[in-house]
Chains A and B, each alone.
Chain A
Amino acid sequence: KQEVTQIPAALSVPEGENLVLNCSFTDSAIYNLQWFRQDPGKGLTSLLLIQSSQREQTSGRLNASLDKSSGRSTLYIAASQPGDSATYLCAVSHAGGTSYGKLTFGQGTILTVHP
């Protein structure tokens, strides 16, 4: 059974810092990995999607990498801002069989960026 773990559970940094969020998964037979952002009491917004054949994806100040063989992904946020404060979740898509279309989520990292 696929398990997804995110470290750290919470992170508090001053504005302007570069930071790294970690995601690990136990079964490397994934189709892709997505990073999401969730604001308190809201739904999830997709940030980046990395296919299993890719190494990284970039969007603005965000960069996500994927090392499928070791079961790891990192989300790098450059020059953090107070508006980046949110919970960040990673999720892996299963490669096939009866699990087709399902995502397994990590428990999230709560990020606080203070001025």
Chain B
Amino acid sequence: DGGITQSPKYLFRKEGQNVTLSCEQNLNHDAMYWYRQDPGQGLRLIYYSQIVNDFQKGDIAEGYSVSREKKESFPLTVTSAQKNPTAFYLCASRRNRDLGEKLFFGSGTQLSVL
């Protein structure tokens, strides 16, 4: 089955630690996105990539970093500089940068601080 796989489902971070969230897709999609969701709020864009080896900051990029070395993979690192990392993180992809294409989402990673 084609789709987007996020792992792990639950992740705990210690003070001062960097953690990496995985996002893999086998849909052959060019564009990939990372969103953060806080309770009772809509999704906010962290980073997005429209092609391999290229990515742009979203609205809340501070304290996060990404890479796009392969088309299928778009990992997100939550660094120690992110002071309030507890949230539900969602990865999404789109076939190409054409806005007429639907966005597909993974099942999410819940990150909590110990």
Among the listed stretches A11-19, A45-53, A71-79, which one makes contact with chain B, having 4 or more residues with CB under 8 Å of it? A45-53
Q: How large is the interface on A (under 10, 10 to 19, 20 to 34, 35 or more residues)?
A: 20 to 34
Residue total for B at the interface (Cβ-Cβ under 8 A): 30
SS class, residues of chain A in contact with chain B: strand
Question: What residues of B have a CB within 8 angstroms of the CB of A104 in the complex?
Answer: 42
- Tell me the number of A-to-B contacts counted with CB atoms below 8 Å: 65
Q: A42 near B58 (CB under 8 angstroms)? A: no
Q: Is the C-beta of B50 less than 8 angstroms from some C-beta in chain A?
A: yes
Top 10 A-B residue pairs of the complex, sorted by shortest distance between their CB atoms: A105-B42, A43-B105, A44-B105, A105-B43, A31-B99, A93-B99, A107-B42, A46-B102, A43-B107, A43-B108
A interface vs B, CB < 8 Å?
4, 9, 31-32, 34, 36, 41-46, 49, 51, 89, 91, 93, 100-108
